[in-house]
């Protein structure tokens, strides 16, 4: 939906974009146990069928955090898409 502006489930073009907000904890990924560092999640919602797609902007600080998490979980960062 982000790139096509069309719902992959019902083919509707009635898509709403909801920008991530640092003030809404339900729209964030917490990057530490104290919830003082987080990444905002943006959402695309189909108003016909309700399908939701969520995205995190792939900024350098997110990539650095993701690389560390993948290694901690026993993976190889080179497998990161």
Q: Report percent pLDDT > 70 for the chain.
A: 68
Q: In this structure, is residue 31 part of a structural domain? A: yes
Residue 54 has pLDDT above 70, yes or no: yes
**Is the distance from CB of 10 to CB of 46 less than 8 angstroms?**
yes
User: Does 79 have pLDDT greater than 90?
Assistant: no
Domain count, the chain: 1
DSSP state of 66: H
> Residue 5 falls within a domain, yes or no?
no
2 — alpha (psi -120 to 50), left (phi > 0) or beta? alpha
Identify the burial level of 65 via C-beta atoms within 10 angstroms of its C-beta, where 0-12 means exposed, 13-18 middle and 19 or more buried: middle
Is residue 71, in this structure, part of any structural domain at all? yes
Task: Tell whether 40 is covered by a domain.
Answer: yes
Confirm whether 3 is domain-assigned: no
pTM, full prediction: 0.65
């Amino acid at each position: 939906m982000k790139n096509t502006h069309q719902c992959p489930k019902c083919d509707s073009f009635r898509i709403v974009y909801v920008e991530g907000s640092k003030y809404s904890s339900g729209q964030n990924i917490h990057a530490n146990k104290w919830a003082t560092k987080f990444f905002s999640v943006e959402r695309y919602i189909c108003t016909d069928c309700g399908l939701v797609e969520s995205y995190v902007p792939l900024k350098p600080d997110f990539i650095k955090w993701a690389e560390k998490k993948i290694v901690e979980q026993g993976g190889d960062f080179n497998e990161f898409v």
